[in-house]
Amino acid sequence: MPRKKKAMEAPKANWLTTYSDMVTLLLTFFVLLFAMSTISPGKFQQIVVGLRTALTGMPPSVLTGGKSMAEEPLVTSRRGVYEELMRIAEEYKGKITIEERDEGTVIIMKDMAFFVPGSAILTVEAKELLGKIGRIIIEHTTNVLQVYGYADDQPLPPDSIYASNWHLSAARAASVVQFFTEELKRRRTVERLADIRAGRFDPEYFYDPKRFVPIGMGDWAIKNEIEAFRKSIELEKQTLADKLSRNEITYSQYVSEVNKLDRQFDEKLRELRALYRRIDILIKREKAK
């Protein structure tokens, strides 16, 4: 009699156990990486805008010219405009810097007498510079513009109309916004009258007050820097005192070095106060409503 054929046994899938364990471990690893990471506000906003655009049926693609997911391009993405800003920066010899951040492009103007001391009144020099910068960043974008005002560590005089340096810095930011939306707007309306009549320029659109956000930074930033430098000076003085107690230096050397440190502190204080005579303008990656 012919032998009966053995029934074919299904292959054992022992490898699936190892594979599923590996996939689980990989998932856990990537979840751990995500939990430890920090979200970039600028990139997150671009994702949100991209999703919003896709859900409205107009996703960005090569067919639309490869448009950025940002709602509105910044001045730094436009070669001619950026070059004009750099030309102004070179004219003012290091007093203007332009930085790219997650939230947008920030223009920092410093070491200039922007305001009458202890007040929020703009100087003639400040208006001249703000006029040059303003007409570029205002008329070549429709982004939200945040203006930051600062104050230094010096106390306000008793007869000041401001309750604190916080109030003063906020008033300074508001003064810059008022200059843009009123004085510069009037000036540009006259200068571009032909463009307005031809329908090529609308000052009401570009100089809309809703685009501008004044922000007072107070005096905390400069006070933090002063305190950090003060601590380093005190540490050096303590080191000198220890050397004096061990007779490693003479008393005259100790006095000479302490006086030198005091002069360094005074010089640093003057430098910081000059640097915090500043105005920052942030061109956000956000279109004005």
Q: Where are the domains of the chain?
A: 75-219+276-287, 223-272
Please report, for residues 28, 113, 139, 144, 259, the alpha-carbon distance to residue 213 in angstroms, rounded to integers and kept in the order given: 43, 22, 17, 8, 45
In the prediction, which pLDDT does 68 show?
A: 43
Length in residues, the chain? 289
In the prediction, which pLDDT does 8 show?
A: 57
Q: Note down pLDDT in tens along the chain; length 289 residues.
A: 556 555 555 556 666 677 777 778 888 877 777 666 554 444 444 554 455 555 555 444 333 333 444 455 566 666 778 888 889 999 998 899 999 888 899 999 999 999 999 999 999 999 999 999 999 999 988 899 999 999 999 999 999 999 999 999 999 999 999 999 999 999 999 999 999 999 899 999 999 999 999 999 999 999 999 999 999 999 999 999 999 999 999 999 999 999 999 999 999 999 999 999 999 999 998 887 7
Q: Strand ranges (DSSP E) for the chain?
A: 96-101, 104-109, 143-149, 212-216, 279-287
Task: Classify 108 as helix, strand or coil.
Answer: strand
- Tally: H helices and E strands in the chain: 10, 5
In the prediction, which pLDDT does 63 show?
A: 35
What's the CA gap between 205 and 223, in Å, rounded? 39
In the prediction, which pLDDT does 40 show?
A: 46
Instruction: Tabulate helix, strand, coil % of the chain (nearest 5).
Output: 55, 10, 30
CATH level 2 (architecture), domain 75-219+276-287: 2-Layer Sandwich (3.30)
In the prediction, which pLDDT does 45 show?
A: 47
In the prediction, which pLDDT does 19 show?
A: 74
In the prediction, which pLDDT does 12 show?
A: 60
Contact predicate 86/256, CB 8 Å: no
Residue 179's nearest CA partner among 114, 96, 97, 259 is 114
Compute the C-alpha angle 83/211/285, nearest 5°: 55
Phi-psi region of 122 (alpha: psi -120 to 50; beta: other; left: phi over 0): beta
What's the CA gap between 84 and 98, in Å, rounded? 12
What's the CA gap between 111 and 94, in Å, rounded? 9
Residue type at 57 in one-letter notation: G
Residue type at 140 in one-letter notation: H
